Amino acid sequence: MARKMKVTTAKLTQCTWEEAFEGFVFWKQAQGLSITTITGYKNVITHFFKRFPYCWQSAKLRNSIIQHMADNIKPATYNLRLIYLRALFDWCIREGYLDVNPLSDFKKRKAQPRIVNIPEDVLQSLLKLPDQTSFAGLRDYTLILLTLDTGIRPKEAFNLKPQDIDLKHFFITIPEEVAKTRVTRSLPILPPTAKALNKLIRARHPAWAIDTPIFCSCEGTTLSRHTWGDRIEMYSIKLGFKIRPYDLRHAFALLYLRNGGHAFALQKSLGHTDMSMTKRYVNLTGQDLKNTHAKASPLNKLIVTKKKDRIRKISI
């Protein structure tokens, strides 16, 4: 007669979800994640547990997760919930707070990339709107110019200091503590951008500290994404064309490629860790592909045609 094996399960370490989450946040901070990313974790995870306060370390956790993920939400919101909550539960399993991840069999949803295609004449009109006789207007003009020249993220631009600008060699450096990916990168700038940056730096109040950000408020405080969003919205209303701060980064990526820029160089400029992220910004239209094909097709060199040769209608 076969023996029956007794299956034992490890006893879970008892704690509240707040205690587990506090340890998880410390762990993420130790990995060097940015404040913005940490804030994202806090918002998504606390939202779930405030909605389902009694599901932690109980049989209700799985059902609560299913209900939470079944909300009628956009794919991007769904994916954020999935990534942030699954990361927490994986960490809790390693620490002995949970024995199974309730999100282990969930998959990301495919989100349709948001294509932002701002006409060049609209961008030209946008650059004419800021009043450069005021500090705020000069700051806005310079920040728009810098974004269209480099594709820098708004958050990265807000934290640039005068010492990060090399006007002599036309470069700006995004320090690792400022970069979203925590990797230092240098971006080339054109003379018009360097000239605007130099003018903005000279317009700073003499009482401001040397480490006061270049793109600051009139009081010398760091510019926030909300303030910058309001400023761009104000210009959008005047233009009659809706533009958001991140749209300028999208516009840079599209125009960069249309003007012959290399995709891998674009990846480095945008600060992406791989090409999959770059592709989200590079949403070429059918006309873009047609123009690129006309320039890059191997037949341009393989088949030599005379200028006076004309394409005749083929009759069948």
> Which tens digits make up the pLDDT trace of 85-118?
999 999 999 999 999 999 999 999 887 666 677 8
Give the separation between CA 104 and CA 99, rounded to whole angstroms.
12
Give the H/E segment covering residue 165. strand 165-166
Collect the ranges in the chain with pLDDT lower than 50: 1-8, 285, 308-316
Q: What is the pLDDT of residue 313?
A: 45
Residue type, 209: A
Task: Kindly provide the b/e burial profile for residues 242-269, where b requires at least 16 CB atoms within 10 angstroms of the residue's own CB.
Answer: ebbbbbbbbbbbbbbbbeeeeeeebbeb
pLDDT at 316: 43
Single pTM value for the model: 0.68
